[in-house]
Amino acid sequence: MINLHHAHLMAGDIDTTIAFWCDGFGAQVVYDVEFAGARNVFLTVGTGRIHLYDQPPRSTERSTVHHLGIQTDELETVVERLRAMGVSVTDIRCEPTARYAMAEGPDRLLLEIFQPDPTDLPPELAAYFGFAS
């Protein structure tokens, strides 16, 4: 069995990054430990996982990670909450199968916050996005 387990992100200010994920997306801190010479914090965000490494990104440009996709069934609520936190968030955009907004997290991490429409998804994608087919 092979599963994608987590995204590991560098954090220029780890406490700010933890607050961003916890306050903005309801993340829970699962583990906070010194490992490999730096503080490592493991978070759950719904059924997903993010690991944070207390070290700034090595470049001011985005890395090979283009964005993280965050699926929600409360798109407007999440966008409003992030804006109230002072986070830069685009307007909600509508596509035939989903609505989404882009936001910039700590250390310039690009996030896609999206809400699929289960009634318009192709049948082969229903299970992929967690909807019964």
CATH number corresponding to 1-56:
3.10.180.10
Mean pLDDT by 10 residues, the chain (133 residues): 79 95 96 89 92 84 76 95 97 92 93 91 83 72
Report the distance separating Cα 125 and Cα 132, nearest Å: 10
| Class in CATH terms, 64-133 | alpha beta
Q: What is residue 70's predicted lDDT score, i.e. its pLDDT?
A: 93
Report the distance separating Cα 111 and Cα 68, nearest Å: 5
Question: Token match 């997306």: residue?
Answer: 25
DSSP string covering 57-124: -SSSS--S---EEEE-S-HHHHHHHHHHTT--BPPPEE-SSEEEEEEE-GGG-EEEEEEE-TTTS-HH
Q: What is residue 132's predicted lDDT score, i.e. its pLDDT?
A: 75
With both helix axes pointing from N to C terminus, report the angle between 75-84 and 14-25 in degrees, rounded to the nearest 10.
140
Q: Same CATH fold, 64-133 and 1-56?
A: yes
Collect all residues with Cβ–Cβ distance below 8 Å to 133 and sequence separation of at least 6.
123, 126, 127
pTM here is: 0.79
Boundaries of every domain in the chain = 1-56, 64-133
Q: What is residue 1's predicted lDDT score, i.e. its pLDDT?
A: 63
